[in-house]
Structure formats: structure tokens, C-alpha cells
């Protein structure tokens, strides 16, 4: 087994005291950056680049530090999702749906520990996938032309139904709103600005981090302000008991099939350069809901609803390294940053990387394994510490949330315009919550809408305006079939479930978002 | 806890003693800062980080270069910020490239023009390439242009910039020189970065790729793509010397994506001289030559006034081309 021998060499490279210390530091900093709303993996990595340069680190140690931050941030994003209902980064959004309800039922410790385990499973198997499948997987990425990407994104939207609301019309409205927001900015296919009102800040479109922090974090603050001093602040005040801080074996067992399935899904989404971790965690959640949610418990604090997106998004993080290393094409924002680092370290990613710089590649992969185990070891004991956040009274917690939101967003873009946009989103989020419109589809529309539109137009342009290209290959037909089944099936099966839903509706409506 | 603040902290913590400035001049920046007008990971970000690091290694600047990512509007947000709010900041330089000139030429920075800032110097140029997949039947640039002339719809060309952007313009320059009558008919498909476009070229969705040489080196080395022509005035040196130029194939097209810096418009003359000389020393150093070689950057040795007139010429020629193809009126 050449691969295993190379991997052993990789471990020899990675297992030096310096590299282990760097991995530990990266994991720790990454977890914290992931947990802070606004600061996500890509900013986390970018912030530490100067550190790597100033320390004069070589190629392998730099990459170990930065990828540990990357994996760490993917782990950390879930913490604020579960505890505060504020996603720490985009892919952690889906974890809010069941993670926060669990926390409100006094099971925050379990949710955190379980999601830690799920993150580990996703990242661990994805790293193995990277080891054995990277060269073959590149061929999968090449199968996806614009038409296939469009079908994939359409699939994501068609399975949206019921993800986060009992009222499908409101879900659809929210998704449409998100799609509309995705239109803002210069249209790359014509070079014409749309809905920018001559405002240069809007030319690049709306940064979805700004949208997420506004919609989730600031609107939480507004809701708190509205209810301050009254009994109603129960909606923001979490329960005080932490619950057990380790998941029971029964729960782990129940979640194992979920984690396995979503690891595969997330990994594939990560491998596709145009898809990424957000799509990975989203498809993982919605597919899993369709598959196993027989009693309609998803969205009300179902542990499987926590395990699915976490395994999915961490697997996607590993998957995204495949096209970056093997093709030099970043599959996500963070891998784009890592790619730039590789280039400035005199390493050209691409088809020849595995043969030209084997020590770097295998050292990096070994470091991923080490970092992943460190993260698990670090995260499980820290659960007890994290959940103490819940004991902070809202009157102290909420100003801190507001402060972190503002500082985080300003830190990324250095633009006060973005702060205004964030406030606008905060107000919009508050209004939408009042109207009981789910927020997740809004973000999904913003996040995926642009890629969906652009790929459809690329496909049609290449085919000279012939729309049949969108169903022109077996792969597109397969994706459309899954999409249509995912869309239509719940409508027919829905009748059976409706009765049960009605019972759950009241409870659910008060909890989701 | 902004990024800059953290960077400052990290820098301060690690560099308890700043190296003494070796520049025997009236001006030395206290807190040298480089604005990368895009998110981390792109070309401008690279320009700031790599140049900043090398300048520090060479002791051309007294402390670590703080890199601030000020993304938005394809560089327009940073341009407006420098013009409106930081016009007299002597410690500041901003990364720029052909994309900056293209947007200035197409009035894509509303209300801003190139004479509102001071152009400091270039760091090198990344020449354009037109490539096809290795298994393509097309063997040279004239053959590709013939195909476009016969049936423009039969060739989809992908690139990493938006329609009207530099990757698009490069292929139009070549088409124009090759005698394609209506260059507006050339089918250009915009992708998010050259890498994505190359992937689609390999996947068979596209027939040709237009981009920078540096974006394609990995695929050239592996033999996955074949570069039909480099849009340089003469053959490049080193490992790229066997790539034919467009010119030697009878198509007199040159397209370079230059990289460089501008500074605020009301920067003092001492500061201007300081930065021009720092960039000049950086450019002349062995370290920078190594960086250029690694990244496929070809020589472009222009500083100060020379650089300013170079940018001005490229803005006006892009303006003409953009008018011709109808991107601006």
C-alpha cells in the first residue's frame, strides 16, 4: 500500500513537538474564532497568515497551523448555534434548527458533545476519503458542468420544504426573499450592476456573513430589547440547567447511521468546487429529515438533527481540500485562502502536487488527523465550560452579542457601510420573526441563489440559448429525479403526517427560530 | 479586536524590537499599511502580503506591513475610501492591477478617476494566455480564431473575470487582431476565478480558456491543458520559453495583467519618494526575483512617473476597446 506508506511518512513529518504545538494552538484559536459570530474559518485563517510568516515557518508547519485553524473553526461554529441560536459561521446555520431547541430543553451539554462527536466523525472519514480517493474524486468534479451544478442547487431548493417551518408558504416566501437578495450586485454574465442604486459597496453583492449576523444575532438582541423586563423574555432566556455533558450511548447509537450517511453527502458536496460546506450541511440536514424523520421531531431538538449538519459540514471541509490540492481550485472561501498561502510558499497546487511535494501533502493530511483527534479531545471536556455561557443572564449576554457582531463584521470588511447593512438585516430579521417567517431559507437563498442563477445562465449560454441542456446528461436527469421526488413525495405522504403535525405545530412554531 | 488591531498585536508581540530603518531619507512610515481591495486569497491580497513580507525581510520598512482587506465593488470601495477618507495618509499603499485600470476605464468606480491617487510602481506582469484542453483538436491560435470566424457559437471561451473584465478583454484583443469582424459575437462565459474555468475546460463544457499564465501553470506542467499562445511581446524566459507568443503566429495581441501599488492622492512628496524607492529596491532584489519566478510573473520595471503614464495609457486603450464592444457608451 503506497498510500499508507506515504501517510506514515506524513506522520513522521507532522509528529514533531513544534508541529504538535502549532496544531494545538491552531485548533484552540480556530474553535474560538468559529464560535464568535462573524469570524468564520476563512477570516480565522487569514488572520493567522501574518503569524505564520512572522514566525518564519516552513511550508509544512504553516499549513499545519492554518488547517488546524480551519478544522477548529468548523468545529467551533456549532457552539454559538446551539447555545445562542446564532450561527458562528455559514455552515453552522443548520445546527441552530435542532441544537438550540435542545439547549432550551436543558440538553445543551448533550447537544454540544454530540455535535462534537459528529464533527469528529465527519472530519475523520472525510480525511480518509482525501487519503484514498483524491485522484479519483477529481474526475467526479470534472463531471459537473454548469448544467449539473444548476440541477444540484435546484435539488437543494426543492428539498427545502418543511426544513424550518410548519408553514410551507412562509418557507417559500423566505427562500424567494433570499433569492432576491442574491441578485444584488454586478451580474458577472453581463457586467451590469443590478439593484445597486449606484452604491459601490453593493457591487460585489451582499456579503452573506453580514446577512447572517444581522438576521440571527442582531434580531435576537432586538427581540430581547422588546421584551426586556417582562416575563416574555423567556424566549431569549435559556434554561439554566446544563444537563449531562456527555451524550448517552443510546443517543450515539441512534445517530450513527445519520452521521455515516451525512458524512458521505457532505464529503461529496465539499469535493465539488462550486458547492461547498454550506450546501453540504444543508443537504445533509434536509435529506436526513426526509429519510428518518418519521415522527416529525426534526426542528424540535432531535439529536439526529444536530448530528446530521455537523457531520455533513465537517466532512465537506475535508472534501473541499480535494479540489484545492489536486486541481488548485478552491471549493470554499477558506480553501481559497489556503490556496493563496500555498502559492506564496512556493508550492503550486495542481495535478502534480502529490508527486512534486509529497512531504507537504502527506504531512498536511497527517496533521489533519492529529488536529481532528485534538479537537475531539479538547471539545468534549470543554463542553462543561461552554455551556456556562447559558448561565450568563441575557441582560449581560445580549450586549456582548451585539458588540461581538459589530466588531466581527467591521473587522472583516473595515467598512461602516456593512454595519448599516447588518443593522438593516437585524431589523428585517426582527420583523420576519414577528411574522413567524423562518430565517434559514432567507440565508440559503442568499448563499446559493447566485451560484444557481449563474450556472443556469452559463449552461444556457454555452448551448446557445437551448434550455434543454439543463436536462442534457444522465447526471442532470438523476439530480432532477432526486429533486422532484424530494419535492413531490412530501405532498402525497404529507396527508398522513398532517394530523401528527398539527399536534406538534404549536410547540414547533414557538421553538423554531 | 479588528483584524488590523490583532495583526498589530501579533506584530508587536513578536517584534519587541523593530529593525532600524535602513532608509536614509526624510520620511519613514510609522505603521506601514497595505490595503488589499479584496477578500483574502486573491491576487491583490497576494500582492500586499508577498510584497509586505519581502519588504520587511529586506528592511525596507521599519515594521511589519499591516495588510487590511477592504473588499467590495471590485476594488471600488477601497479606491473611494482612499480618495475620500485617507487622502493624506503617508503610511498607506494599495494593491492594484490591470483589473483596477479596467474598472477605472469603464467608470465602474462611480465618480472616481485615476488621477485622484498617486501611482507608485509595478511589481511585475502576468501575461495572458489562451489555452485549450490537451485532447483538443485545435493546435494553434489562428486555428481557434478561424473556428470563431466561421461559427462564433461553436467556441465557448471561459475565464475568471466578469463579462467586460480583463480576461474577457484579452481574448477580444486577440480576436480583433485576428480579424474577427464582430468581436461582440465571441462567446465568453464568466466564472469565479480562473481555476473554475480550467476545471470546466477539462470537463468538456468549454472549448477554450483565457486567463493569466500563473493561473494555468499547474495544469500546463501536468499536461492537462495546452497553451496556444501567450499574449506577450516576446517569448518568456525559463520554463515557459517553449510557449509561442500570439505575435509569432501572426496575431499581434499583447495582454498583461500587471500588478503594482497606488498611494493616496495627497501623500506628501517625501512619502511618495520613499515608497517609489522602496518598491524600486524591492523590485531589484534577488528575493523578489525569486517570488516572480515562482508565480509566473514577467518583468515590468516601472516606477513613479513612468508607471503613472503606463497606467494612464492602459486606461485609455481599455476605454477605446470597451466602447468598441459596447460595454460603455
Per-residue pLDDT of chain A (513 residues; tens, 9 = 90+): 577 888 888 888 888 888 889 889 999 888 888 887 767 787 778 777 767 766 777 788 888 888 899 888 888 888 888 888 888 777 888 888 888 888 888 888 888 889 999 999 999 999 988 888 776 777 777 888 899 889 888 887 877 665 555 677 888 888 899 899 989 988 888 878 888 887 888 888 887 778 888 888 888 888 888 887 554 444 444 455 566 677 788 888 888 899 999 999 899 888 887 667 778 888 888 888 878 877 778 888 888 889 999 999 889 888 888 888 877 777 677 787 787 777 767 677 777 777 778 888 888 888 889 889 999 888 888 887 877 776 777 788 888 888 888 887 887 667 788 899 999 999 999 999 899 888 888 888 887 888 889 899 999 999 988 888 888 888 899 889 888 887 776 666 655 555 555 555 445 444 444
- Dist CA A188 CA B191 (whole Å): 8
Q: Does B200 touch chain A (CB under 8 A)?
A: yes
What's residue A496's pLDDT? 55
Contact B205, A146 (CB under 8 A): yes
Sort A172 into a burial class: Cβ within 10 Å, 0-12 / 13-18 / 19+: middle
What's residue A232's pLDDT? 45
Out of A144, A202, A349, name the one closest to residue B218 (CB).
A349
Domain count of chain A?
1
Out of A350, A414, A461, name the one closest to residue B218 (CB).
A350
> What b/e sequence results for B132-160 when a residue is b if at least 16 CB atoms lie within 10 Å of its CB, and e otherwise?
bbeebebebbbebbebbeeebeebbbbbb
Out of B1, B196, B218, name the one closest to residue A348 (CB).
B218
In the structure, what pLDDT confidence band is assigned to residue B311 with cuts at 50, 70 and 90?
very high
What's residue B247's pLDDT? 92
Helix (H) / strand (E) element for A194: namely strand A192-194
What's residue B1's pLDDT? 35
Give me the residues of B, 55-114, that contact A with CB < 8 A: 64, 67-74, 76-77, 80-81, 108-110
Same domain, B96 and B150: no
Q: Which residues contact A430 (CB under 8 A, 6 or more apart)?
A: A218, A219, A222, A223, A226
Residue found under cell 519581502:
B54
Contact B293, B119 (CB under 8 A): no
Which domain, by its residues, includes A439? 2-511
Residues β-bridged to residue B227:
B131
Residue B7, pLDDT > 70, answer no
B109–A200 CB contact, under 8 Å: yes
Pairing of strands B208-212, B33-36: unpaired
Q: Cell digits for A443?
A: 440565508
Q: Cell digits for A18?
A: 513544534
Residue B11, pLDDT > 50, answer no
What's residue B210's pLDDT? 94
A352–B189 CB contact, under 8 Å: no
What's residue A285's pLDDT? 87
Q: With the C-alpha atoms ordered A310, A311, A312, A318, is the resulting torsion angle positive or negative? A: positive
In the structure, what pLDDT confidence band is assigned to residue B45 with cuts at 50, 70 and 90?
confident
Q: Which one has a higher pLDDT value, B96 or B236?
A: B96
Task: Give the nearest chain A residue to B295 (CA atoms).
Answer: A343
Residue B6, pLDDT > 70, answer no
Give me the residues of B, 17-46, that contact A with CB < 8 A: 39-42, 45-46
Q: Cell digits for B150?
A: 466561421
What's residue A11's pLDDT? 85
Same domain, B248 and B140: yes
Q: Which of B256, B280, B299 is the last residue of a domain?
A: B256
Residue B101, pLDDT > 90, answer yes
Residue found under cell 488591531:
B5
Helix (H) / strand (E) element for A506: namely helix A474-511
- Dist CA A326 CA A361 (whole Å): 10
Q: Which one has a higher pLDDT value, B307 or A193?
A: B307
Q: Which one has a higher pLDDT value, B11 or A16?
A: A16
Residue found under cell 432531535:
A302
Give me the residues of B, 296-325, that contact A with CB < 8 A: none
Same domain, B21 and B89: yes
> Considering only CB atoms, which chain A residues are within 8 Å of B240?
none
> What b/e sequence results for B71-100 when a residue is b if at least 16 CB atoms lie within 10 Å of its CB, and e otherwise?
bbbbbbbbbbbbbeebeebbbbbbbbbbbb
Same domain, B141 and B250: yes
Residue B157 belongs to some domain of the structure: yes
Same domain, B150 and B237: yes
Helix A17-35 with A59-84: angle, nearest 10 deg = 30
Residues β-bridged to residue B56:
none
Same domain, B225 and B266: no
Same domain, B204 and B239: yes
Sort B17 into a burial class: Cβ within 10 Å, 0-12 / 13-18 / 19+: exposed
What's residue A47's pLDDT? 73
Q: What is the mean pLDDT of residues B79-90?
A: 90
| Helix, strand, coil percent content, chain B, rounded in steps of 5 | 45, 20, 35
Residue found under cell 449531562:
A244
Q: Which residues contact A298 (CB under 8 A, 6 or more apart)?
A: A97, A98, A285, A288, A289, A304, A305
Q: For position B119, which CATH number holds?
A: 3.40.190.150
> Considering only CB atoms, which chain A residues are within 8 Å of B151?
none
Q: Which residues contact A174 (CB under 8 A, 6 or more apart)?
A: A165, A432, A437, A438, A439, A440, A441, A442, A445
Q: Does A400 touch chain B (CB under 8 A)?
A: no
Same domain, B165 and B210: yes
Sort A426 into a burial class: Cβ within 10 Å, 0-12 / 13-18 / 19+: buried
Same domain, B102 and B243: no
Report residue A473 CA to chain centroid gap: 29
Residue B329 belongs to some domain of the structure: no
- Dist CA B208 CA B156 (whole Å): 6
Q: Does B126 touch chain A (CB under 8 A)?
A: no
> What b/e sequence results for A58-87 when a residue is b if at least 16 CB atoms lie within 10 Å of its CB, and e otherwise?
ebbbbbbbbbbbbbbbbbbbbbbbbbbbbb
Out of B4, B190, B221, name the one closest to residue A350 (CB).
B221
Among A143, A151, A188, which would you mutate to test the B interface (most chain B Cβ atoms within 10 Å of its Cβ)?
A188
What's residue A322's pLDDT? 84
Contact A360, A347 (CB under 8 A): yes
Residue B52 belongs to some domain of the structure: yes
Which domain, by its residues, includes B193? 127-256
pTM of the model: 0.79
What's residue A368's pLDDT? 87
Neighbours of B235 (CB within 10 A): 14
Same domain, B179 and B250: yes
Q: Which of B256, B285, B312 is the last residue of a domain?
A: B256
Q: With the C-alpha atoms ordered A473, A315, B42, A365, is the resulting torsion angle positive or negative? A: negative
Residue B225 belongs to some domain of the structure: yes
Residues β-bridged to residue B96:
B260
- Dist CA B4 CA A50 (whole Å): 11
> Considering only CB atoms, which chain A residues are within 8 Å of B162?
186-189, 191
> Considering only CB atoms, which chain A residues are within 8 Å of B153?
464
Same domain, B202 and B192: yes
* Torsions phi, psi for B63 (to 5 deg): -145, -175
What's residue A241's pLDDT? 58
Range in A490-504, B47-61, B170-184, B302-316 with the lowest mean pLDDT = A490-504
Q: Does A494 touch chain B (CB under 8 A)?
A: no
* Torsions phi, psi for B78 (to 5 deg): -65, -40
Residue B283 belongs to some domain of the structure: yes
Q: Cell digits for A203?
A: 457591487
Percent of chain B predicted with pLDDT > 70:
91
Out of A188, A330, A336, name the one closest to residue B162 (CB).
A188
Residue B259, pLDDT > 70, answer yes
Mean pLDDT for all residues in chain B: 85
Q: Which of B256, B273, B304 is the last residue of a domain?
A: B256
> Considering only CB atoms, which chain B residues are within 8 Å of A202?
73
What's residue B10's pLDDT? 43
Closest C-alpha among A236, A217, A241 to residue A226: A236
Contact B104, B114 (CB under 8 A): yes
Q: Which one has a higher pLDDT value, B326 or A429?
A: A429
Q: Which residues contact B78 (CB under 8 A, 6 or more apart)?
A: B35, B37, B70, B71, B72, B94
Amino acid at each position: 500500500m503506497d498510500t499508507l506508506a506515504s501517510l506514515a511518512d506524513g506522520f513522521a513529518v507532522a509528529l514533531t513537538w513544534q508541529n504538535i504545538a502549532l496544531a494545538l494552538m491552531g485548533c484552540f484559536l480556530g474553535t474560538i474564532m468559529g464560535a464568535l459570530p462573524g469570524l468564520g474559518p476563512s477570516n480565522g485563517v487569514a488572520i493567522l497568515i501574518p503569524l505564520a510568516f512572522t514566525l518564519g515557518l516552513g511550508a509544512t508547519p504553516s499549513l499545519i497551523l492554518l488547517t488546524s485553524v480551519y478544522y477548529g473553526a468548523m468545529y467551533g461554529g456549532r457552539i454559538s448555534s446551539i447555545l445562542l441560536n446564532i450561527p458562528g459561521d455559514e455552515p453552522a446555520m443548520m445546527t441552530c434548527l435542532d441544537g438550540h431547541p435542545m439547549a432550551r430543553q436543558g440538553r445543551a451539554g448533550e447537544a454540544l458533545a454530540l455535535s462534537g462527536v459528529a464533527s469528529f466523525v465527519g472530519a475523520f472519514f472525510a480525511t480518509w476519503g482525501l487519503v484514498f480517493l483524491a485522484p479519483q474524486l477529481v474526475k467526479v468534479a470534472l463531471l459537473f458542468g454548469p448544467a449539473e451544478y444548476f440541477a444540484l442547487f435546484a435539488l437543494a431548493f426543492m428539498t427545502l420544504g418543511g426544513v424550518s417551518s410548519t408553514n410551507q408558504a412562509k418557507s417559500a416566501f423566505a427562500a424567494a426573499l433570499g433569492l432576491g437578495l442574491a441578485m444584488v450586485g454586478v451580474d458577472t454574465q453581463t457586467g451590469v450592476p443590478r439593484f445597486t442604486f449606484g452604491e459601490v459597496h453593493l457591487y460585489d453583492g451582499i456579503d452573506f456573513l453580514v446577512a447572517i449576523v444581522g438576521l440571527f444575532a442582531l434580531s435576537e438582541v432586538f427581540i430581547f430589547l422588546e421584551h426586556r423586563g417582562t416575563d416574555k423574555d423567556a424566549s431569549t432566556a435559556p434554561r439554566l440547567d446544563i444537563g449531562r455533558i456527555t451524550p448517552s450511548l443510546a443517543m450515539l447509537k441512534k445517530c450513527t447511521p445519520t452521521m455515516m450517511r451525512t458524512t458521505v453527502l457532505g464529503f461529496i458536496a465539499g469535493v465539488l468546487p462550486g458547492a461547498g460546506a454550506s450546501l453540504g450541511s444543508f443537504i445533509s440536514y434536509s435529506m436526513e429529515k426526509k429519510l428518518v424523520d418519521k415522527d416529525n421531531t426534526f426542528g424540535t431538538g432531535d439529536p439526529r438533527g444536530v448530528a446530521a449538519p455537523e457531520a455533513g459540514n465537517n466532512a465537506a471541509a475535508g472534501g473541499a481540500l480535494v479540489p484545492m490540492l489536486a486541481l488548485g481550485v478552491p471549493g470554499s472561501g477558506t480553501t481559497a485562502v489556503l490556496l493563496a498561502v500555498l502559492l506564496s510558499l512556493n508550492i503550486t497546487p495542481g495535478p502534480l502536487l502529490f508527486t512534486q511535494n509529497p512531504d507537504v501533502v502527506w504531512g498536511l493530511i497527517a496533521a489533519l488527523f492529529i488536529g481532528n483527534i485534538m479537537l475531539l479531545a479538547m471539545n468534549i471536556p470543554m463542553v462543561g465550560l461552554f455551556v456556562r455561557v447559558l448561565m450568563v443572564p441575557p441582560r449581560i449576554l445580549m450586549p456582548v452579542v451585539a458588540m461581538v457582531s459589530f466588531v466581527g463584521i467591521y473587522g472583516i470588511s473595515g467598512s461602516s457601510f456593512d454595519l448599516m447593512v447588518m443593522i438593516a438585516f437585524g431589523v428585517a430579521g426582527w420583523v420576519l420573526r414577528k411574522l413567524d417567517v423562518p430565517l434559514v431559507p432567507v440565508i440559503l437563498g442568499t448563499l446559493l441563489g447566485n451560484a444557481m442563477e449563474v450556472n443556469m445562465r452559463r449552461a444556457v449560454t454555452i448551448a446557445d440559448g437551448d434550455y434543454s441542456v439543463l436536462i442534457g446528461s444522465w447526471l442532470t436527469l438523476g439530480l432532477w429525479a432526486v429533486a422532484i421526488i424530494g419535492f413531490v413525495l412530501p405532498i402525497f405522504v404529507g396527508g398522513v403526517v398532517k394530523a401528527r403535525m398539527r399536534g406538534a405545530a404549536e410547540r414547533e412554531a414557538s421553538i423554531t427560530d | 479586536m479588528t483584524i488590523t488591531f490583532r495583526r498589530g498585536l501579533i506584530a508587536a508581540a513578536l517584534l519587541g524590537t523593530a529593525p532600524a530603518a535602513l532608509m536614509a531619507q526624510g520620511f519613514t512610515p510609522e505603521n506601514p499599511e497595505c490595503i488589499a481591495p479584496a477578500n483574502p486569497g486573491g491576487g491583490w491580497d497576494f500582492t500586499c502580503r508577498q510584497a509586505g513580507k519581502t519588504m520587511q525581510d529586506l528592511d525596507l520598512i521599519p515594521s511589519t506591513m499591516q495588510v487590511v482587506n477592504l473588499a467590495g465593488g471590485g476594488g471600488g470601495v477601497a479606491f473611494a475610501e482612499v480618495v475620500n477618507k485617507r487622502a493624506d495618509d503617508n503610511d498607506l499603499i494599495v494593491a492594484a492591477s490591470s483589473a483596477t485600470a479596467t474598472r477605472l476605464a469603464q467608470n465602474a468606480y462611480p465618480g472616481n478617476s485615476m488621477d485622484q491617487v498617486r501611482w507608485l510602481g509595478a511589481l511585475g506582469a502576468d501575461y495572458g494566455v489562451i489555452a485549450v484542453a490537451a485532447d483538443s483538436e485545435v493546435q494553434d491560435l489562428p486555428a481557434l480564431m478561424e473556428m470563431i470566424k466561421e461559427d462564433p457559437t461553436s467556441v465557448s471561451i471561459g475565464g475568471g473575470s466578469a463579462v467586460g473584465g480583463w480576461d474577457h478583454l484579452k481574448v477580444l484583443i486577440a480576436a480583433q487582431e485576428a480579424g474577427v469582424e464582430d468581436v461582440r459575437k465571441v462567446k465568453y462565459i464568466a466564472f469565479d476565478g480562473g481555476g473554475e474555468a480550467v476545471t470546466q475546460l477539462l470537463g468538456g463544457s468549454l472549448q477554450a480558456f483565457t486567463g493569466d499564465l500563473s493561473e494555468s501553470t499547474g495544469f500546463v506542467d501536468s499536461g492537462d491543458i495546452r497553451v496556444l499562445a501567450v499574449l506577450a511581446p516576446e517569448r518568456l524566459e525559463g520554463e515557459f520559453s517553449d510557449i509561442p507568443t500570439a505575435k509569432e503566429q501572426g496575431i499581434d495581441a499583447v495582454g498583461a495583467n500587471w500588478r503594482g501599488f497606488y498611494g493616496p492622492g495627497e501623500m506628501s512628496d517625501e512619502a511618495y519618494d520613499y515608497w517609489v524607492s522602496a518598491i524600486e529596491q524591492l523590485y531589484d532584489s534577488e528575493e523578489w526575483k525569486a517570488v516572480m519566478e515562482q508565480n509566473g510573473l514577467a518583468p515590468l520595471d516601472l516606477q513613479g512617473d513612468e508607471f503613472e503614464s503606463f497606467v494612464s495609457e492602459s486606461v485609455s486603450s481599455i476605454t477605446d476597446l470597451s466602447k468598441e464592444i459596447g460595454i460603455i457608451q
